[in-house]
Amino acid sequence: MPIVRIEMWEGRTLEQKRELVAVYTREMARITGCSETSVYVVIDDVKKQNWGAGGLLCSDKYPENN
Amino acid sequence: MPIVRIEMWEGRTLEQKRELVAVYTREMARITGCSETSVYVVIDDVKKQNWGAGGLLCSDKYPENN
Amino acid sequence: MPIVRIEMWEGRTLEQKRELVAVYTREMARITGCSETSVYVVIDDVKKQNWGAGGLLCSDKYPENN
Amino acid sequence: MPIVRIEMWEGRTLEQKRELVAVYTREMARITGCSETSVYVVIDDVKKQNWGAGGLLCSDKYPENN
Amino acid sequence: MPIVRIEMWEGRTLEQKRELVAVYTREMARITGCSETSVYVVIDDVKKQNWGAGGLLCSDKYPENN
Amino acid sequence: MPIVRIEMWEGRTLEQKRELVAVYTREMARITGCSETSVYVVIDDVKKQNWGAGGLLCSDKYPENN
């Protein structure tokens, strides 16, 4: 009964989230033997101004690409 | 000095959050013997499109009910 | 389908955890209308040397009481 | 630069963790277009006595299977 | 390769976040010897109505100050 | 009343944790104007076999250094 939590930059499409949830659930069940039904996946869309890497806000470091 | 973090679908009312915080804090203090003052409760309102269960996004699986 | 995560000092008994899980699940269902079956509660036992409050490690600040 | 956090029952083997990390990283990069290098995966091995489902500790509910 | 996650009330300015990320990254590298490049900092802006302290929602307890 | 959560490889000394908690609390108060008393810092010591970076377990990728 695993819980998977994903933090990533906001801006991913619904289709990308749908595929992430499907694949991560399927692979978790395949690798660990749990049932797919028991897997929860929670996605946290993080603004680039709320993510720091190497000491810089990503909104400063990567102003354009997503 | 416990921290309680609640992830649930967005859409709960202020009154429901108020009661959750009051009850969870009171019960934590009663059961563990800590002071109520030391308990933090943080609520994370999660969009149904950011929650996967059984391999499906909840926005696909439960399009109507909350 | 809420997830509740509890961080508290290690040392709570199995009976305290059992009651916390029972009460938090029941109250979540009562207050938000979700089913009890859908509630997950995850407890993280934190060592006092891994918890800081007011700038001090709790193992320094509260060497005796739990 | 996503972070993936997995909470699951303790007892998974090193080989299962290795495969989870490899597959989750590869699929994240494929689906979102990020680089594999930027993906962090953190696994939290949770004792069954620290996991509640449906109001019961998993150590009570599932005393045998893992 | 540490990950630092900050939960605080929403309303902090971009400049405050920028300084937090810079200082926390620099100090992590200085104290633990890791490289600054490997440090991720993720900020979670929490609404006062989603934060409970001492059994009360912060939106009720501190209606004015931030 | 911020909460800071640090995930890092296990093996840091008590003295390093003590300094991290002191500095992070002081800087949080200085930058955001909150009181030091209200700051909680929780450290999670993560085994290298529970941390994946770039698709590999850190226990495989960095077998020696910490």
Question: How many Cβ pairs within 8 Å bridge chains D and E?
Answer: 8
Cβ pair D57:C14 closer than 8 A: yes
The distance of Cα E27 from the centroid of its chain, to the nearest Å, equals 15
Residue F33, Cβ density class (10 Å: 0-12 exposed, 13-18 middle, ≥19 buried): exposed
pLDDT tens track for A5-64:
999 999 999 999 999 999 999 999 999 999 999 999 999 999 999 999 999 999 999 987
The distance of Cα F29 from the centroid of its chain, to the nearest Å, equals 18
| Distance (Å, whole) CA A46 – CA B57 | 18
Cβ pair F52:D45 closer than 8 A: no
Question: Between F16 and D1, where is the model more confident?
Answer: F16
Instruction: Quickly list H helices, chain D.
Output: 14-32, 58-61
With contact defined as 3+ CB pairs under 8 Å, the chains touching B are A, C, E, F
Tell me: ipTM over 0.90: yes
Residue type, F44: D
C60 touches chain F (CB under 8 A): yes
Closest CA to E34 of F24, F57, F8, F20: F8
Closest CA to B10 of B39, B51, B41: B51
With contact defined as 3+ CB pairs under 8 Å, the chains touching F are B, C, D, E
Give yes or no: B63 in active site.
Answer: no
Parallel/antiparallel/unpaired status of strands E3-9 and E40-46: parallel
Superfamily of domain D3-61: Macrophage Migration Inhibitory Factor (3.30.429.10)
pLDDT tens track for B1-36:
899 999 999 999 999 999 999 999 999 999 999 999
Closest CA to B40 of C50, C27, C42, C6: C6
| Distance (Å, whole) CA F56 – CA F37 | 39
